[in-house]
A and B are shown apart, each in its own frame.
Chain A
């Protein structure tokens, strides 16, 4: 079975440019998460969705960041305009609600490594 698929795997861009990161969650998973990882700050939760609806976006750094989930099989994280401090690895992850057993395992994509010059 295909896991969480992210694209692009690597992106190098110049300050001020728009960046769009894409994610396809595992089929049947009803939760989708976007994280950002840096050496200094670790793995930070940016936003998460349940059934395509944003539940908590309190981790989104500022208005330059936006995320959408137009359907159950696709999500985007957009940065406009990008800045050097946005350089990080961005992970998308998905999971099921797990039923009576509680929250299921979180499955991560391989990440999108963003470098803003």
Chain B
């Protein structure tokens, strides 16, 4: 079983739609969580951190449920420019940083 699992998608949504991505992690010792974004043929870049209390950055909302070992990302009012692969990340003690395989999103006009 992979340490971080995501639905690979792809998710095909129209502009303006709300889309949610889910992620689970298997290592209960994981301490920090993030979402990264990767554009086609580019390197991953940090989108946002994920906190237990939930956090929001504009149209993006991230949630963490430690009891269920579950992380989510909600994108509201999708834009064409949101089309990318979204990678869920869990960091354990010692800063071992594990990525999920990613969920592909296509936003269509």
A residues with a Cβ closer than 8 A to B are 31, 33, 35, 41-43, 45, 48, 50, 55-56, 91, 95, 97, 102-103, 105-106, 108-111
Which 5 pairs across A and B sit closest by C-beta, in order of nearness?
A42-B101, A108-B43, A43-B99, A105-B46, A103-B91
* Residues A45 and B95 in contact in the complex (CB < 8 Å), given A102-B32, A106-B46, A109-B43: no
Residues of B within 8 A of A108 (CB): 43-45
* A interface secondary structure, majority: strand
- Establish whether residues B102 and A42, one from each chain, have CB atoms under 8 Å apart when the complex forms: yes
How distant is the Cα of A31 from the Cα of B94 in the complex, in angstroms? 10
B107 to chain A, nearest CB (A): 21
Please count how many residues in chain B sit with their CB below 8 Å of the partner chain's CB atoms.
20
Residues of B within 8 A of A (CB): 31-32, 36, 42-46, 87, 89, 91, 94-102
A24–chain B nearest beta-carbon distance, Å: 15
Q: Which residues of A contact B100 (CB under 8 A)?
A: 42
How many Å lie between the Cα of A102 and that of B34 in the bound state? 12
User: Chain B nearest CB: distance from A33 CB in Å?
Assistant: 6
Q: Is B99 in contact with A50, judged by CB distance below 8 angstroms?
A: no
